[in-house]
Amino acid sequence: MAKADTLISKDYCISPFRINIPIVLDNVYYEFNSAELTEPSKKVLDALFIIMDDNPEMEIELGAHTDAIGTDEYNQSLSERRAQSCVDYLISKNIAAARMTAKGYGEKVPIAPNTLKNGKDNPEGRTKNRRTEFKVTKK
């Protein structure tokens, strides 16, 4: 038993959530051209469920992003459906719908280049851009 009341381990360090600062949900994946969540994605969302369950006043936005392949309109629609699938999953776990907002960003907010400087495809960058994030909108 430790005699100190301080936890000294970077592995267990928790920083407080800040309002409207996006947090990427790593490993939330979908099948190609689909908004259906994969089983590994559900496990990631289960961790978010625990946070939501432990913080009953918390409200969040779930935002989904795409890469730049496809039309703007298609990517916008796909990202909206993907964000909604995350919300629907959390609703199925008994998180109130009123505590969550689904937002699709399409390809408008990349975090990496979709193409290289020479104009060729950048698969690594496109992978990073296909992401789901959440941000706390109310603590």
In the predicted model, residues of the chain with pLDDT beneath 50 are 1-13
Q: What is the pLDDT of residue 114?
A: 94
Q: What is the pLDDT of residue 7?
A: 41
108: three-class secondary structure by DSSP: coil
Q: What is the pLDDT of residue 8?
A: 45
Name the strand (E) or helix (H) holding 104.
strand 100-106
Structural domains in the chain, CATH included, are 18-138 (3.30.1330.60)
pTM value is 0.83
Distance of alpha carbon 117 from its chain centroid, rounded?
Answer: 28
Q: What is the pLDDT of residue 91?
A: 98
